[in-house]
Structure 1
């Protein structure tokens, strides 16, 4: 991403929060034929994500694992948080350049491909994680034989993040009055992004 120091997000806790709140990720891999990209849900391996360390768990549907040459090299995982267009009509007169506010993290690492048993356990954790938000959540354990058969069509992965490059571009270069106006406008159509702007202001960034 473009190197803009005042938008840098360097706190691992903030990146972990971004992953928890925005678990739909883009996986990009350099392969012999060029670059391939796929989209899958991710979750933090909380036990292995303390201090500066971040580890994620996911799975690929076959044959995406082969297309990505999964486990053979470093991949880029893109976590896209709230984002939206910012109109110069929300600025002071004479300030005419529009922009796009966003919170984004690029995670780099070499995935560990899980064994069949570890993959099934990871799928169970992923399912339980997302089903816990549902009023009548389901579990793979309700039909272990059937869900194990389905799991054979997937490849689980765990990725320790070697480094991350993250940005929270949230109008920090504008005056407090303009930021307040932008936040108010975004709050009408993109409350999540407006909340991120309030958080940054609250931290004094």
Structure 2
């Protein structure tokens, strides 16, 4: 990503929050045959001190990515939207795009069958827990274990990350308030992120 000091997100806890709130991730691998990209849900490992994500690949994506043989890039995309210059003051005519984005780097550790099944159970429970009539893999262990064999689980300990919280910090307070008011009409999640950030503090949150 472009190096923009005002928008750098350097706090690992803020990156963890971004992962929690936006678990649909893009995995990019520099394989021997070229770049390969896939999309999978991720779960933050809350027991790990460093940023660690858990996920799974459906076969044969694991082979296509040469999973576990090299570093991968995982892209987490938070709320984002077009920012019209019509929301600025007079004479300021260049629009932009506000966003929260994190690039996570690390080499995946492949999980064994039992650990993969435990991870899939945990992942399912995480997303089903607050749904009416939510299900668990434990309701049909024989059937779900059979299906789990078509997946490869992974744990990725993030060695480094590059993250941005670009939320109009370069604008005056009155212009930011106007932008946020317009954004809130159709993208309340992005407006909420704008409200958390203090202008002029290099992306620091309130």
Q: TM-score, normalised by structure 1?
A: 0.96
Cα separation, 2, equivalents of 1:178 and 1:127? 42
Offset of 1:133 from its aligned partner? 2.2
Cα separation, 1, equivalents of 2:130 and 2:20? 13
Please identify which structure carries the higher helix content.
1
Preserved CA contact (<8 Å) 2:170 2:200: no
1:13-45: per-residue Cα shift (whole Å, max 9, x none)?
A: 100100000000000000111100000000111
Offset of 1:203 from its aligned partner? 10
Preserved CA contact (<8 Å) 2:169 2:200: no
Aligned residues: 202
Cα separation, 1, equivalents of 2:200 and 2:34? 41
Residue ranges of structure 1 left out of the alignment (5+ in a row): none
In the alignment, which residue of structure 2 is the partner of 1:19? 19
Cα separation, 1, equivalents of 2:47 and 2:89? 48
In the alignment, which residue of structure 2 is the partner of 1:4? 4
1:154-187: per-residue Cα shift (whole Å, max 9, x none)?
A: 0000000001110000000011111000000000
In the alignment, which residue of structure 2 is the partner of 1:40? 40
Offset of 1:202 from its aligned partner? 8.5
4+ runs of 1 displaced by more than 2 Å? 201-205
Q: Root-mean-square deviation (CA), in Å?
A: 1.2
Cα separation, 1, equivalents of 2:182 and 2:130? 29
Offset of 1:76 from its aligned partner? 0.2
2:94 to 97, 104, 110: 97
